[in-house]
Structure 1
């Protein structure tokens, strides 16, 4: 697994973010997102969950990649844990101040990591596939906070799935926030979604993308008020 670390110049013991990629893997888009987070004043480690920097170049490759992790849950969560331990060991980061963020599959991964007792201060979940989550949150003992940004028309995060997640988070005494965007489908933050062969499932929505980024910045500011944007 070949992750990518970025942080402001001269960074030392900054709050950290483990960023988990979408179904397409740790590609240039994810690296740009990592650098965008780092510019806010964070040490960011983009995980390589698929391994060997594998990236999907066709929709047909996505199912087997995701299915391979979901069918081996211990391996899936082990890789998210490995990313956390790797970031925590870096001098750029404060090991006690790390959150987990992700998009699509990465957001599902971040929520599952919290659900299974992962050591994280919070989760930023952007258009997660809630259909990948398991139901039992008894292990989620970390006093984390959760931001969920999702589309009202996302078939992978239906009203029932959202309701079940809300009940589960509240039952685990986790402070959560749900931002729901109208006329918004899955993968709405990715401009490449505008060219998806499945427009009824996936579609780019620049307004919702901008809103979720503003919510993310506010959420991070509340968690880490001392974080400062890079000069």
Structure 2
């Protein structure tokens, strides 16, 4: 039986509001950090944490905007995204704070950690990995693939999976190729799954494609399900004692 609770934690004077989900039992389990999409943490991310807990993982959905808020205004959201993309240290601090909450949970096996992220959250967990955090696996779902410090990928210790839509305007071919070269140069154990026909945010139910309201963005169920299975396959690889 899954137990879930709201967690408030401070980052540089701002109160963040995350969601911790625990599997049944009392033993220590592999632990997964979850970073939300650009607008903010929602029930969708909380449900992802709960779903992972149902599979036996300790899961924590962090908050990187503060107050658990969701940014409704698109201009404000994109301004926030640009602010973070230009500040890798800030991204690493925000995800590192979430990781600290996760590892402070007694049920979390700190020798078996993973981080996953969606949209900007995918970029942020990749930055966390570039900081040298002890993560066995890092998964980005439709993440931004660029970094202002690509050389720091030499610090990545775990295995990397990125799942990208072939029609995602935020991850064009040239960025995918640059990311490949970055991973290759750093000697990272990495893989990229390119989902044919999928747009940005292809994992998010409810975001049906709407070229006028949300150009380049849209849910694609087959790709979402395939990407989730690919993540679980990687977890099976890096957490071989998981039962």
Q: TM-score, normalised by structure 1?
A: 0.91
The CA deviation at 1:36 is 1.3
2:180 aligns with one of 153, 160, 166: 166
The CA deviation at 1:74 is 2.2
Residue 11 of structure 2 corresponds to which residue in structure 1?
A: none
1:157 aligns with one of 168, 171, 174: 171
Residue 7 of structure 2 corresponds to which residue in structure 1?
A: none
Q: Does 2:204 align with 1:190?
A: yes
The CA deviation at 1:49 is 0.6
> After the TM superposition, which of the residue ranges 112-121 and 171-180 deviates more from structure 2?
112-121
Q: Does 2:200 align with 1:206?
A: no
The CA deviation at 1:111 is 1.1
Q: Retained in 2: the 8 A contact 1:155–1:186?
A: yes
Gaps of 5+ in 2: 1-15
Residue 32 of structure 2 corresponds to which residue in structure 1?
A: 17
Q: Does 2:47 align with 1:32?
A: yes
Residue 119 of structure 2 corresponds to which residue in structure 1?
A: 104
> After the TM superposition, which of the residue ranges 43-52 and 6-15 deviates more from structure 2?
6-15
Q: Does 2:117 align with 1:73?
A: no
Distance 1:6 1:192 in 2: 23
The CA deviation at 1:198 is 4.4
Residue 78 of structure 2 corresponds to which residue in structure 1?
A: 63
Residue 19 of structure 2 corresponds to which residue in structure 1?
A: 4
> After the TM superposition, which of the residue ranges 172-181 and 51-60 deviates more from structure 2?
51-60
The CA deviation at 1:219 is 1.1
The CA deviation at 1:138 is 3.5
The CA deviation at 1:3 is 1.5
The CA deviation at 1:139 is 5.5
The CA deviation at 1:72 is 3.5
The CA deviation at 1:48 is 0.6
Q: Retained in 2: the 8 A contact 1:26–1:48?
A: yes
Gaps of 5+ in 1: none
Q: Retained in 1: the 8 A contact 2:38–2:119?
A: yes
> After the TM superposition, which of the residue ranges 14-23 and 53-62 deviates more from structure 2?
53-62
Aligned residues: 227
